Amino acid sequence: MPKSFLTALPVYNEQSHVAAVLQHVHQYSPEILVIDDGSKDGTPHELARFPEVRVVTHPRNLGYGAALRSAFDYAQREKFDVLVTIDCDGQHEPRLIPDLVAALVDGVDIVSGSRYLKQHSGDSLPPADRRQINHTVTQWVNQSLGLDLTDAFCGFKAYRVGALSQFSITDMGYAMPLQVWVQAVAARLKIVEFPVPLIYLEEKRSFGGALDDAQFRLAHYRKVLDAELARSGRAESAPATDSTACQPLCS
């Protein structure tokens, strides 16, 4: 029996990308949800050009994690079988949406895109601070939870909707994936990674405020991970912090 799936895109001030991305996504996903996280630019006007697209609007900007939490809630409420999440900045390839859905075979709960699982022709060279932080945090997550991830922060994922009730997301920002990993392990969910191309179109893209400082961002991620590990009773599993111990993840 074919799986019904919904592809959700968190969006904040994406008027320059959203139309092209939606046109591309629509080729591979008949059901699309946009979570407009309080955009103040022309994003709502662009979305109005796509009446077939489902839209949830936050009255103000709440953050990336809040947008994904809304997507989780919507997919459960509308009783889809699978939720795919994909970013709206052009850094993910919509043609892979059916492949992620297909990889969600019986027993698998999360298929997580990885930009470092293997190299692809034409891969971008990521900004050094982002690669370093991703590698460091991925090591922390693996050492704390006994996982073998290669990419802790890829937003391109497929979730079995029946597993989404296991999540209690309280971090509204970019650290939200760390809560997902801890809670997924606590719920004994099965996670597999799926190789996706490494694409960076806007290397100077802002995280917002103090998070644009790499060291502050790394410390923030550490704080969120530690808090979630403590909440799950796994605080003793957390490795010692060493923000300088970053080696290239793959050649």
- Which pLDDT value is given to residue 236? 54
Q: Alpha-carbon dihedral of residues 148, 150, 155, 156, nearest 10 degrees?
A: -90
- Which pLDDT value is given to residue 119? 67
pLDDT tens, position by position, 73-111: 999 999 999 999 999 876 789 999 999 999 999 899 999
Which residue, 101, 152, 162, is CA-closest to 131?
152
Instruction: Give 3's pLDDT tier (boundaries 50, 70, 90).
Output: confident
Share of the chain above pLDDT 70, in %: 84
CA distances from 3 to 7, 88, 100 (A): 13, 24, 12
Amino acid identity, residue 63?
G
| Structure tokens, 90 | 């052009």
Task: Decide if 121 contacts 44 (C-beta within 8 A).
Answer: no
Flag whether pLDDT at 124 surpasses 60.
no
Q: What is the average pLDDT across 7-27?
A: 95
Which residues are within 8 A (CB) of 249 and not within 5 positions of it... i.e. 6 or more apart?
Answer: 116, 131, 134, 135, 138, 150
- Which pLDDT value is given to residue 109? 98
CATH homologous superfamily for the domain 5-130+148-206: Spore Coat Polysaccharide Biosynthesis Protein SpsA; Chain A (3.90.550.10)
Task: Decide if 187 contacts 92 (C-beta within 8 A).
Answer: no
- Which pLDDT value is given to residue 200? 54
Rounded to the nearest angstrom, the gap between the alpha carbon of residue 84 and the centroid of all alpha carbons in its chain is: 10
* Tokens 């936050």 belong to residue: 58
CA dist 8 and 35 (Å) reads 7
Rounded to a whole number of angstroms, the distance between the first and last alpha carbons of the chain is 41
CA dist 116 and 157 (Å) reads 15
Q: What is the average pLDDT across 7-12?
A: 97
Q: What is the average pLDDT across 42-69?
A: 97
Higher pLDDT, 28 or 251: 28
Rounded to the nearest angstrom, the gap between the alpha carbon of residue 102 and the centroid of all alpha carbons in its chain is: 18
Flag whether pLDDT at 64 surpasses 90.
yes
Query: Which of the residue ranges 16-30, 44-58, 85-99, 192-206 would you say has the lowest mean pLDDT?
Result: 192-206
CA dist 59 and 112 (Å) reads 29
- Domain ranges for the chain, please list them: 5-130+148-206
Q: What is the average pLDDT across 175-182?
A: 98
- Which pLDDT value is given to residue 247? 30
- Which pLDDT value is given to residue 248? 28
- Which pLDDT value is given to residue 204? 56
CA dist 114 and 157 (Å) reads 9
| Structure tokens, 66 | 């809040």
